[in-house]
Structures are given as structure tokens and as C-alpha cells.
Amino acid sequence: MTGIHRYLPGDRMADLISENYFLIQVISRFGIKVGFGDKTVEQVCREFGVDCATFLAVVNFIVQGHSYIDGSTELSIPSLLNYLKQSHIYFLEFCLPAIRRKLLNGIVLSTDNVSFLIMKFFDDYTAEVKTHMEFEEQEVFSYVRGLLSGSIEDKFRITTYSEYHEEVGDKLKELKNIIIKYCPDSADINLLNDALYDIYRCEQELESHCMVEDRIFVPAVVKLERKVREDVQR
């Protein structure tokens, strides 16, 4: 199937995955498990308690790189919050630790060579990603939950929190360049290449994650902010 296809509620979920294998991680973050037979997207979403419009908004955006959301589209912010929370768990508890293990297995550590620099750079990067995601969960997500309950914090604006995303992406590019240009002679090239491949994949997934936040989550929260302010002023 070509990349111009826009998935709809009546499409089979199995077709969606077989045509876009990278969406396996996406459905997992929505709490959907494989084994859904020939059920449609709408049927599977209903079975797992997922808002279908929100699921398709994320899926179509990731596949197409384009948001089909307009002013009339109603998305489930709780579903988006859960999706983003599960994404954080994936990166912090699985993806980044797995890459670190591969890096350690692929290089011989020494305080006076580039191997030490690679590990330090990766650990510093991971710590920065963790700090950012913890800020999102403690500050941003809490703010949004407040909006859902009808309260608003005038000192905070949802549009201000996405500015950090580009900096995170730039740091991962620097790490790739260090490995590519200065790979230590003592490294196990197969293991290090495997780690490098995973870094590229992680970079793509993080970029996609940030874009979902910026292009789907933030506009949905801006719409909610506007509604809550209007309700408060009445």
C-alpha cells in the first residue's frame, strides 16, 4: 500500500500493522495487544477502551507526517496522556537502557580514550531526556489534568513546553557523529554497529514522539485551555 493511504475506522487493524510494522510500538503505547484477528480498527479500539479518533489521529500522523485534525475534531486528551506516559516508560526503561548495554558490550572502557567519552556523552544525554520527561509528567501532565477538571493555572501555557525538543534531538546527532568519526580500534564492530543502528532508530522514534506532542497533543490542549477560560469567565 502506498504512503498516501489514510487509515479509517473500518480498516482492518492487522492490515495497518502489516503495512507499517513500526506501528507495533504505537499500538502498544495505547494498551492494544496483537492477536486481534480480522477485527477493524474501530472494533479493536472499542475492545481495549481506546478512543478511536485519537488513535487514528496519532497513527495517520506518524504514517503520513501530516495531521488530519481540524477545528471540529474531538480528541481524547486522557488517551493522549496515557499514550505519552507509556512512550516515556518505553524510552526510559527499555530503549535507552538497551542501547547502553550494547555500547558497553561493544567498546572497551578507558578514562583516556574515546570509549569513555562515548559512554559519558550517552549517560549525560539519557539523564537529560529523563529530566525532560519527568518535567512533562510532573508539571505539564499535571497542568493538563487540572484543565480536565476545570481549573487553570495562569502562569503556565502549554505552547511554551515544546521548545526543548530540538535541543534533545541535536544531542543525539552529536553522539552518532562521535561514534561514526572516532570509533575506537578496540571496539567490537558488529556490536557497536548494532548499537549505532539502534541509536538511529531511537532518534527517529523520539522525533516522532516529540512531533505527536507538538502537532497533536499541544493543539488539543490549547483548545481545552480556551474552553476552560471561557467557562471560568462566565
Query: 31-55: per-residue pLDDT in tens?
Result: 999 999 999 999 999 999 999 999 9
What pLDDT, on the 0 to 100 scale, is given for residue 216? 93
Range of the domain at 188: 84-233
d(CA 222, CA 158): 7
Q: What is the mean pLDDT of residues 58-71?
A: 80
Residues 58 and 68 sit within 8 Å (Cβ to Cβ): no
Paired strand residues for 40: 12
Q: End of a domain among 75, 98, 128? A: 75
Q: End of a domain among 57, 75, 93? A: 75
Looking at the structure, tell me whether residues 69 and 90 fall in a common domain. no
What pLDDT, on the 0 to 100 scale, is given for residue 167? 63
Q: End of a domain among 18, 49, 75? A: 75
d(CA 153, CA 228): 11
Looking at the structure, tell me whether residues 114 and 49 fall in a common domain. no
Nearest C-alpha neighbor of 124 from the set 54, 189, 178, 83? 178
Q: How many domains does the chain have?
A: 2
d(CA 79, CA 49): 9
- Is the model's pLDDT at 144 over the cut of 60? yes
Q: Report pLDDT digits (tens) over 110-133.
A: 656 788 888 989 999 999 999 989
Paired strand residues for 12: 40
Looking at the structure, tell me whether residues 103 and 211 fall in a common domain. yes
What pLDDT, on the 0 to 100 scale, is given for residue 69? 65
Residues 133 and 91 sit within 8 Å (Cβ to Cβ): yes
CB within 8 Å of 78: residues ≥ 6 apart: 148
- Report the percent of the chain where pLDDT is more than 90: 59
CB within 8 Å of 106: residues ≥ 6 apart: 187, 188, 189, 190, 191, 192, 194, 195
Looking at the structure, tell me whether residues 104 and 204 fall in a common domain. yes
Looking at the structure, tell me whether residues 103 and 67 fall in a common domain. no
Looking at the structure, tell me whether residues 64 and 98 fall in a common domain. no
138: helix, coil or strand?
A: helix
What pLDDT, on the 0 to 100 scale, is given for residue 2? 46
- Report the percent of the chain where pLDDT is more than 70: 90
Question: Half-sphere exposure of residue 49, counting CA atoms within 13 Å on the CB side?
Answer: 4
pLDDT category at 68 given cuts 50, 70, 90 is low
Which set of grid coordinates corresponds to residue 107?
A: 567498546
Q: Report pLDDT digits (tens) over 157-183.
A: 787 766 666 666 677 888 888 889 988
